[in-house]
Amino acid sequence: MEDYDVRSAASILASVKEQEERFEQLTRALEEERRNVNLQLERANLPPNPTISQPLAWQQVVMQEQSPSNATSLAMMQEPQEVVEETVTIEEDPGTPTSHVSVVTSDDGTTRRTETKVTKMVKTVTTRTVRQVPLGPDGLPLPEGSSPLSSYTDSIDRRYMKNGGERFITPQATSTLTRAYNNSYNDSYVETPESQYIRHYGLHEGYADLTDNYGSLSRGVNFRPPRYPYMPNSYRPENSYTLPIRKDDYGHVAQPQVPMGSSTVDLNRSQPERFQPEPYGLEDDRRSLGPEEEEPYELEPDYSTASRRTLPGTNRGRTHREPLRDVHRVRGYPDDPIEAELIDERHPYIHGMYSAPLAQPERGSMASLDRMAGRRSPSIDSIRKDPRWRDPDLPEVIAMLGHPIDPVKSNAAAYLQHLCYENDKIKKDVRQLKGIPVLVSLLDHPKSEVHRKACGALRNISYGKDNENKVAIKNCDGIPALIRLLRKTNDMEVRELITGTLWNLSSYEPLKMVIINHGLQTMTNEVIIPHSGWEHEPNEDSKPRDAEWTTVFKNTSGCLRNVSSDGAEARRRLRECDGLVDALLHALQSAVGKKDMDNKSVENCVCIMRNLSYHVHKEVPGAERFQDPSALQAPGSAGPQRKKKDDAGCFGGKKAKEEWFNQGRKNGENDKNYDTLDLPKRTEPSKGFELLYQPEVVRLYLSLLTESQNYNTLEAAAGALQNLSAGQWTWSNYIRATVRKEKGLPILVELLRSDSDKVVRAVAIALRNLSIDRRNKDLIGSYAMRDLVSNLPSGQQRPAKNLEEDTVVAILNTIHEIVTDSSENARSLIQAQAIEKLVAINRTSQSARETKAASHVLQTVWSYKELRNALTKDGWNKSHFQPTVTATPKATKNGKPGYDDTTLPLMEKNQDGYSTIDQRDKDCKYKTDDGSADLTEREPLKNDTNRKHYIRSNRPAVSLVDACDVKPQPVDSWV
Amino acid sequence: MSEQPSNDSVGQRCQITREDFICQRIEIQKLREGENLILGFSIGGGIDQDPGQNPFSEDKSDKGIYVTRITPGGPAEVAGLRIGDKIMQVNGWDMTMVTHDQARKKLTKKREDVVRLLITRKSLEEAVKHSKGSHPRQ
């Protein structure tokens, strides 16, 4: 950031110098122009030559509009130009921070849609005042006369009209000039000013398109300095308000002053009537505002000053537009007179503000918002006190986006961003005014200032509940344009804006696949991988890099998090995106290593991992090879087999065995324990999506579950374990066993006490999936039952946590899973005083789903004949365990097929946006005749918890990625 | 096994003939940063990469090595390297038909303090015209 600021300052200086050069060029050009004009004037004074139309026209105009001051103005044209003096002021806005970025991140619990909104304010203002005031014989400023000047002279004379007094130049004189210029333009008077201007213009803006109308027009405006002489004292540059523009580049001269004594105001006011008849006068101007408001969304070219310039013949006919061009008060562009002028041409904005619209940001967003909304900021008003000025309206701002001069574009875009901030109405208006395609087209603009501001506007526009704005951006190919810019730019700020916009866009379902199609690999390569610290091929000499939690990374991971919930195809694409999973894992490892696990980036990464882990057993290529053969045959047969296999698990085991195990751990023999799991031998390290379900990830998720304070991260980590432990394939068997071995069950059980509803829910469902493993089921039944039951509501009274229906149902289903095929677990349930709660839910719950789930549990409990005695002793009878009359019969549980429904994502029902496993109404799917568990092998969870910490502290952080010595294809590497 | 998501090829397509390219030799003195010697730029491309995603190439089947990013003020920038430059040779080694990693290794040899690049870049005139042409006027 520092670096960035330094560069900004340097660029300011550079641009200042550049501008000085331009002014020198201008000065020289002006000389030439003067000569040309003199030539013209001479010709005009000669008898009309029919073959030279331009001089003829000139002469005609002159004849028509003879005025007393005409001679003066002509005389002035001969005056040599004064020295150009430039002062550059870089001032920080005093008091309040001048630049402020406000980031509003909202995290909607139900949709998890996260959006970012940023409004940028103009920060540093550079003011450059150019004094170029040739003095006339009377000591007052004189104009430089030349035909090119006429292009702005008409605006000048309008100015005169407006402000009344002009002692040196009459409106007639100026209009004469104007028309002369127009004529010369039409007649392609090649040797005259235009060619000069063209050259200059090209120099200035790089628009070498010489034949372009705009070019010559703006060139005409190039020569602003000479204009000053026309102005009354009060409007000499120093007095004028400034047109604030680009951040850091231009300044904002304070308020209008009256440096030249008292003369100005009175003088100006003294003769307004004199100019009333002039069609360019102020009154016309004001009248003209009406029509504009009638068609406020018109985007005709005639909004553009440039096009108006090119229509000399119609100028008169369009008087209501003309006043828009009145401008020379604008200053602050001395740097770039062309730019300043072109902005200034558009009268309306000046009208409202006494400064260009983009001046607003310096005064704070609210001020300008107020103005936009029709309320005026008193402070502003007090500054100008001229009710005739007004803000530019939205169509005008949007039209400015198409302005040929870059700073106008960028300023307009910045102003739009500013206006759109937290204003849904304006966002909608911008869309209806077709402003979005223009902004998108500016993303490809070569100048960083332009594409940055356009991107900022798009970010604000894309934020909010109005998805049509997002669709509008997509419809004009905004997404590929953003991605293109992301590839091109190195500017951190621009990258933040791009990724922020993409994040906003990604919250709308229909756009998710579009984002994936256009930007997945780019976002991964440009942001995720570099910022994650992951390297395709770690350099042996350098230690692994840590992840950088930059805004860009946060935004991009947020975007990917959103798109990762878009279904199977989206998941497939993300899993197969080169380096993505590797980088996300590395970032999470880094977070765990640094114990920095509560931030949003980590949350996003875990959520992506959770989503990508969903349905891995069905969706990853080659998954069928890993299908558990026993599971494929019959669920029941898998049980005993697994049980045997997993007996060496560390969660359970006899005391002696346990100690042996711990000893083994400390001695680094834990591999032996894995051997008992028959983990597949890997001939080469895992990479890409394979990393998602390697047992090594378990430790990562458990670390997050242990350390993170962020509920969303906790939920996602539990959800990931839940997803990975679902399904019947080899890897989920390993995962379930690994969770136990890694002491994960106590961690999960502890989280059942969490205050967060969704954490409890995710953990409960994870426990349910984990209990597919027989050993896990026994352990959970013994040690998790009380915590599970304590989360249940008692009767109609909810516990303090007041858990949602979904959570209660999830807990009931988990309990059901645990007691199924395990009378011992059912006994634990009874001992946990659960029957009373279950009966109460079954009879009185308002929720049919809760009632049904509780009923399932009760029926299962009652099915254990050996428990009925105890139940009867407690005062229960069969009727308590029957489904209530209203309860849905068991057979109609959503009609789900018994097995595979275990992994239906919640998102598809709840629009949660995140896939976890929906096990609601899941039927008993794990049947085994081995109903009794080996009690002797159980260890208290408490002990395990303590041990866990001890062991964990002696273990290095999980290093999945280190093991991954693969050679994924690097796409971009620093050297 | 893994396939690249189809990315839009977004480069502005404009026919530039070979003559518009100029070759230039650039010598970069590596900068010592801690234990590492850095050049201060990043490369993209390579025969193992998806050339369609290269934003700098005109020909979207060009699998050459391109300069994708440059550290401001870094050795590469000082030496005059620019984003979008195509690296033809590194210390005489051909870079037009190498994998991304081979290129990276050639650039990051620890024993070499100086890297001599042969690069090509669109001529300035062409670049200017190009950017103008692609830029919407109104």
- Look at residue A796 and tell me if it is in a domain: yes
Interface contact flag, B36 A542, Cβ < 8 Å: yes
* Distances A482 to A406, A502, B14 between C-alpha atoms, Å: 19, 8, 20
**DSSP label at residue A526:** I
Q: Which residue has the tokens 């574009």?
A: A409
Distance from CA of B26 to the nearest CA of A (A): 15
Q: Tell me how far apart the alpha carbons of residues A868 and A856 are, in angstroms, rounded to a whole number.
A: 16
Q: What is the DSSP string of A301-313?
A: GGGSHHHHHT-HH
A517 contacts on B by Cβ (under 8 Å): 5-8
Q: Tell me how far apart the alpha carbons of residues B23 and B87 are, in angstroms, rounded to a whole number.
A: 10
What ipTM was reported for this prediction?
A: 0.72
A441 contacts on B by Cβ (under 8 Å): 136
User: In terms of residue numbers, what domain contains B73?
Assistant: 22-122
Buried b (16+ CB within 10 A) or exposed e, A115-140: bbbbbbbbbbbbbbbbbbbbebeeeb
| Candidates B3, B5, B43; nearest CB to A972 | B43
**DSSP label at residue A727:** S
pLDDT reported for residue A527: 94
Q: Tell me how far apart the alpha carbons of residues B122 and A791 are, in angstroms, rounded to a whole number.
A: 68
**DSSP label at residue A893:** S
Interface of B with A (CB under 8 A): 1-8, 10, 35-36, 38-39, 41-44, 46, 48-50, 53, 55, 68-70, 72, 83, 100-101, 104, 107-108, 110, 128-129, 131-132, 134-138
pLDDT reported for residue A230: 42
CB A704 within 8 A of CB A717: yes
Interface contact flag, A402 B10, Cβ < 8 Å: no
Phi-psi region at A210: left, alpha or beta (left = phi > 0; alpha = psi -120 to 50): alpha
Helices (H), A376-508: 378-384, 394-401, 406-420, 424-432, 435-442, 448-462, 467-475, 478-488, 492-505
- Look at residue B102 and tell me if it is in a domain: yes
Task: Give Cβ neighbours of residue A729 (< 8 Å, ≥ 6 apart).
Answer: A617, A623, A626, A627, A628, A631
Task: Give Cβ neighbours of residue B33 (< 8 Å, ≥ 6 apart).
Answer: none
A577 contacts on B by Cβ (under 8 Å): 2, 4-5
A541 contacts on B by Cβ (under 8 Å): 35-36, 110
Interface contact flag, B10 A480, Cβ < 8 Å: yes
Helices (H), A771-924: 774-783, 785-790, 805-819, 823-831, 834-844, 848-863, 865-873, 907-910
Distance from CA of B126 to the nearest CA of A (A): 12
Q: Which residue of B has its CA nearest to A439?
A: B136
Q: Tell me how far apart the alpha carbons of residues A187 and A179 are, in angstroms, rounded to a whole number.
A: 12
B64 contacts on A by Cβ (under 8 Å): none
Interface contact flag, A542 B41, Cβ < 8 Å: no
B124 contacts on A by Cβ (under 8 Å): none
Q: Which of A85, A115, A411 is nearest to A243 (CA)?
A: A411
Helix axes A711-724, A600-613, angle to 10 degrees: 20
What are residue A331's phi and psi, to 5 degrees?
A: -140, -175
Distance from CA of B114 to the nearest CA of A (A): 13
Q: Which of A405, A396, A468, A406 is nearest to A433 (CA)?
A: A396
pLDDT reported for residue B106: 87
pLDDT reported for residue A558: 92
| Candidates A519, A537, A975; nearest CB to B41 | A975
CB A849 within 8 A of CB A886: no
3-class secondary-structure state, position A729 = strand
pLDDT reported for residue A479: 95
Interface contact flag, B2 A688, Cβ < 8 Å: yes
pLDDT reported for residue A550: 92
Q: Encoding tokens for residue A479? A: 């997404």
Which residues of chain A fall short of a pLDDT of 70?
Answer: 1-9, 37, 40-388, 538-542, 628-683, 795-802, 884-971
Interface test with A, best of B12, B32, B37, B68 (most A CBs within 10 A): B68
- Residue A388 host element (H or E): none
Task: Give Cβ neighbours of residue A950 (< 8 Å, ≥ 6 apart).
Answer: none
pLDDT reported for residue B126: 57
- The 10s digit of each residue's pLDDT in A863-893 is 998 888 888 888 888 888 877 654 444 333 3
Q: Tell me how far apart the alpha carbons of residues B69 and B52 are, in angstroms, rounded to a whole number.
A: 18
3-class secondary-structure state, position B12 = coil
| Candidates A444, A521, A970; nearest CB to B5 | A521
- Look at residue A191 and tell me if it is in a domain: no
**DSSP label at residue A391:** P
What are residue A91's phi and psi, to 5 degrees?
A: -130, 135
Count of domains forming chain A: 1
Distance from CA of B50 to the nearest CA of A (A): 9
Distance from CA of A574 to the nearest CA of B (A): 9
CA dihedral A427, A430, A434, A435 (to 10 degrees): -100
Q: Tell me how far apart the alpha carbons of residues A655 and A74 are, in angstroms, rounded to a whole number.
A: 110
Q: Which residue of B has its CA nearest to A967?
A: B101
B68 contacts on A by Cβ (under 8 Å): 487, 972
Burial status of residue A349 (CB atoms within 10 A of its CB: 0-12, 13-18, 19 or more): buried
Please tell me whether the overall predicted TM-score, pTM, comes out greater than 0.80 for this model.
Answer: no
3-class secondary-structure state, position A494 = helix
Interface contact flag, A402 B70, Cβ < 8 Å: no
Distance from CA of A844 to the nearest CA of B (A): 53
Q: What is the DSSP string of A623-670?
A: GGGGB-HHHHH-HHHHHHHHHHHHTT-SSS--HHHHHHHHHHHHTT-H
Interface contact flag, A402 B138, Cβ < 8 Å: yes
What are residue B77's phi and psi, to 5 degrees?
A: -65, -40
Mean pLDDT computed over every residue of chain B: 72
Distance from CA of A527 to the nearest CA of B (A): 13
User: In terms of residue numbers, what domain contains A873?
Assistant: 773-880
Interface contact flag, A208 B128, Cβ < 8 Å: yes
A975 contacts on B by Cβ (under 8 Å): 38-39, 41-43, 104, 107-108
CB A749 within 8 A of CB A702: no
Q: Tell me how far apart the alpha carbons of residues A439 and A306 are, in angstroms, rounded to a whole number.
A: 19
**DSSP label at residue A527:** I
Distance from CA of A821 to the nearest CA of B (A): 41
Interface test with A, best of B3, B6, B7 (most A CBs within 10 A): B7
Interface contact flag, B2 A402, Cβ < 8 Å: no
CATH classification of the domain holding B64: 2.30.42.10
- The 10s digit of each residue's pLDDT in B40-95 is 999 998 888 888 888 888 777 888 899 988 888 888 988 888 888 889 889 888 88
Q: Encoding tokens for residue A94? A: 């005093």
- Look at residue A799 and tell me if it is in a domain: yes
Distance from CA of B98 to the nearest CA of A (A): 13
Q: Which residue of A has its CA nearest to B56?
A: A488
Count of domains forming chain B: 1
Interface contact flag, B5 A520, Cβ < 8 Å: yes
Q: Which residue has the tokens 């961690």?
A: A747
What are residue B118's phi and psi, to 5 degrees?
A: -110, 120
SS (H, E, C) B104-125: HHHHCCCCCCEEEEEEEEECHH
Q: Tell me how far apart the alpha carbons of residues A361 and A125 are, in angstroms, rounded to a whole number.
A: 11
Interface contact flag, B137 A621, Cβ < 8 Å: no
Burial status of residue A925 (CB atoms within 10 A of its CB: 0-12, 13-18, 19 or more): middle
CA dihedral B76, B80, B83, B87 (to 10 degrees): -80
* Distances B64 to A542, A889, A895, B68, B119 between C-alpha atoms, Å: 27, 67, 57, 12, 11
Amino acid at A513: M
pLDDT reported for residue A682: 65
Q: Tell me how far apart the alpha carbons of residues A804 and A880 are, in angstroms, rounded to a whole number.
A: 24
What are residue A251's phi and psi, to 5 degrees?
A: -115, -175
Provide, for chain A, the percentages of residues in helix, strand and coil under a 3-state DSSP scheme, each rounded to the nearest 5: 60, 5, 35
Interface contact flag, B110 A972, Cβ < 8 Å: no
